[in-house]
Structure 1
Amino acid sequence: MPTPFSRRTLLAAGVGAAALAACASGRSATGLAVYKTPGCACCTAWVDHMRAAGFKAEVHELPDLGSLRTSRGISDDLASCHTALIGGYVLEGHVPAADVRRLLAERPEAVGLAVPSMPLGSPGMETADGAREAYETLLVLKGGGTRVFARHGQAAS
């Protein structure tokens, strides 16, 4: 005959399972799958930026990223040169590591973050002369809309 479990035993088991899940998700929170086209130097520079910030990036090269973006809820107007996946979110383009850390800490109901286009001075798009453009990191919402998540650089005039 099986031994019945007390409430205390079940509670302890539940707390232990929750702690184990939290530890497991913490380990995977730095695991980054990056998808890029072959030969893209700025994508490689962004991966270097993310690795320097403590993320463990695994790079995959694809001839085209369009279907990956579409399947993950990233519209063409948000597209950049690479797409990454982390912690259940999509990262499109040259998103700063600090924004990714904030996303993972806050865990908003969203598809992920996007830095459309390739703004000068964003991570991976640094120039020898230090030129920088003001840009925004957008939070991509599940319904397809966006809102500003972070602003970088000088305010545009």
Structure 2
Amino acid sequence: MKKLLTIALSAVVLATGIYFTIASNAVAEEVTLYKNPQCGCCESYADYLRDNGFTVTVKPTHELVTMSHEAGIPDDFQGCHLAFIDNYVISGHVPIATVNRLISERPDIKGVTLPGMPMGSPGMSGTKTEPFTIYTVGDGQPSVYAVE
């Protein structure tokens, strides 16, 4: 009886481990990226997402400021494009580690932003000169989500 209980308990632990491993490795594959029609670095960021396993649809628009406001991103915190991934908004050249963290943790926020166009960030040329500060966005004042 003890052996049977041990086997059953082991099976439950194994099944739970497999479930959480699959769930934690699940990545939102579909991305819609909105960008200004002339922006080349936004295309580079779309390629960066593709290189990291996402399927990206790029949609040129002249409405990024309005779309950013609707997503809860204040003017001083806007990036140069908006990506919608798994019900979150990603504004700017956010590194993939933060994107994956957002998707796996699923915090109660609208999304994250890396304001401006920092040199050396994913999709941008140049050398990274300082850590990137990525902020939460939503219904209140942005707060620091990650520093990379």
- Could you list the runs of 5+ residues in structure 2 that have no partner in the other structure? 1-18
Q: Does 1:50 find its partner at 2:49?
A: yes
- Could you list the runs of 5+ residues in structure 1 that have no partner in the other structure? 1-18, 153-157
Once the two structures are aligned, what percentage of the paired residues are identical? 38
Residue correspondence of structure 1 range 1-157 to structure 2 within 5 A: 26=26, 29-127=28-126, 131-134=127-130, 135-140=132-137, 142-152=138-148
Separation of aligned partners in 2, 1:66 and 1:30: 25
Q: Which runs of 4+ in 1 moved over 3 A?
A: none
Query: How many aligned positions are there?
Result: 125
Give the secondary structure class of the aligned counterpart of 2:59: strand
Shift of 1:151: 1.3
Separation of aligned partners in 2, 1:75 and 1:43: 20
Shift of 1:133: 2.6
TM-score, normalised on structure 2?
Answer: 0.77
Shift of 1:78: 1.1
Query: Which shifted more, 131-140 or 103-112?
Result: 131-140
TM-score, normalised on structure 1?
Answer: 0.73
| Cα-Cα RMSD | 1.9
Write the letter of the residue equivalent to 1:139: T
Q: CA-to-partner distance for each residue in 1:65-97, whole Å, 9 max, x for gaps?
A: 111111221121111210111111111000111
